[in-house]
Amino acid sequence: MRLISLAPLAVAVSKAGGIGFIGAGTDVHDLEAHLREAARLFTQAPVGANLSSTLPIGVGFINWGANLDVALCAIEKFKPAAVWFFAPHENRDLVQWTQLMREVTGGLTKVWIQVGSVRDGLEVANWCHPDVIVVQGSDAGGHGLERGAGIISLLPETADALDEAGFGHIPLVAAGGLVDGRGVAASLALGAEGVVMGTRFLASDEASIARGYQDAVLRAKDGGVSTVRTKVYDTLRGTIGWPERIGGRGIINQSFLDAKDGQVTEENKRAYAQALEQGDFGWAENGRLTAYAGTAVGLINKVRSAADIVNEVRKHVREIQSRRPRKISKL
């Protein structure tokens, strides 16, 4: 949700009872401005939070590219409730980020670290002792491990491994392929303390997203077939620096289809550049522009406010949890 989840969406989610994150990503030069805007939005319509201690949103960083010194200045000044780390070149790189974030906020800002494998979970738990571990399954949209398991097996295996290693006290939050109450209820049953939803909020009123991109999300069906994890979209966008083991999941488009065996030709690059000049039409049915989204994209069919999404999911989870167990078939 880099550059899509900015202050309006983050604040709306938090006001609805979740915790919204500003997707700062790799470029943090304007992070202070986004945090200032978030603080302004909260003072316009206060929520039940003490803004003198923490700003009730989080900030997400893509650590291979984010500038630590610049990030620290913004975090120290505004003290968001949480920071979220993802995609360092090496997991050990997060030790310094964790230590310094805790120092400049006096421990007020909680550290969330995203992982996509059991091994990564054990490493960050041992080296960083995060307050929360976000376990991202392979169904997730946007960037994640090119090789990984779905949340159904990854979450409980990670939980078991952490518990055995003495880190069972660290809360786990599930991510990847979760867009409605059914996915949330399933994640809670698997042992998650909460869930992250990214793709669902692409179709929210507050998302900073092109209409063409949003329309592509609403149009996509059968997400396991209509999306793909690849490096093609990064190559076309000129995004350089992602760790080799990470790729981006997006809706299959003409740019991907024209990239034979993942190889992007100069002709493909020129066509992509031309599509950028077409505005929303660049995401049309035969379009070429990147639309990152997860495999659950087919479950999304309407743009709604962030508050409505949060409230509907919460209501659906409660309904599922209150149902009587169905009679088990004798078959």
How confident is the model over 266-280, as pLDDT tens digits?
999 999 999 999 999
Output the pLDDT for position 44.
Answer: 76
Asked whether the predicted pLDDT for residue 330 surpasses 70, the reply is no
Mean pLDDT score, 217-231: 96
pLDDT at 47 over 90: no
Tens-place pLDDT, residues 87-139: 999 999 999 999 999 999 999 999 999 999 999 999 999 999 999 999 999 99
What's the whole-number mean pLDDT along residues 20-46?
A: 91
Largest Cα span, the chain:
62
Q: What is the model's pLDDT at position 3?
A: 83
* Tens of pLDDT, residues 182-208: 999 999 999 999 999 999 999 999 999
Q: What's the chain's average pLDDT?
A: 93
Q: What is the pLDDT of residue 247?
A: 95
pLDDT average, residue stretch 243-259: 95
